[in-house]
Structure 1
């Protein structure tokens, strides 16, 4: 399922970069930056969107392997992208400890 979603995100990003960014980063600073880049020029919007998607899927694969990046990726403001959609820790449900 991961490869299929990645291909779908790339196809969407080719058509309209902000939708691809929204899909991986959500509504936040990265989306606003991408909208500005897309308005200023179609190519900068694509480059920014593909960079965010690369970071997202790379960090997602690292998290699946149990490795977490020690440093934040430059130019990425979304914690969701930084962690690959996973959190850095787990929370214990209340009352179970």
Structure 2
């Protein structure tokens, strides 16, 4: 439970870090970085989706 809470907090503050901790360096991380570069909110939503999945 503590790990999921940390992931949720990181997903809100620093989405790419949360995605990296959950999925590692791969396609999901690249998708999240692109989403964060264009718009910050979709990056947060994507990171939360991965953290809660």
| TM-score normalised by the chain length of structure 2 | 0.92
**Residue equivalent to 1:16:** 14
Q: 1:51 aligns with which of 32, 39, 49?
A: 49
Q: Which has the higher helix share?
A: 2
**Residue equivalent to 1:39:** 37
* Unaligned stretches of 5+ residues in structure 2: none
Which of structures 1 and 2 has the larger relative contact order (alpha carbons within 8 angstroms, sep 6+)? 2
Aligned CA-pair RMSD: 0.7
Work out the CA distance in 2 between the residues paired with 1:37 and 1:6.
22
Segments of 4+ in structure 1 off by > 2 A? Answer: none
Tell me, yes or no, if the aligned pair for 2:11 and 2:51 is still in contact at 8 Å.
no
Return the index of the structure with the highest Cα Rg.
Answer: 1
Q: Give the number of aligned pairs.
A: 53
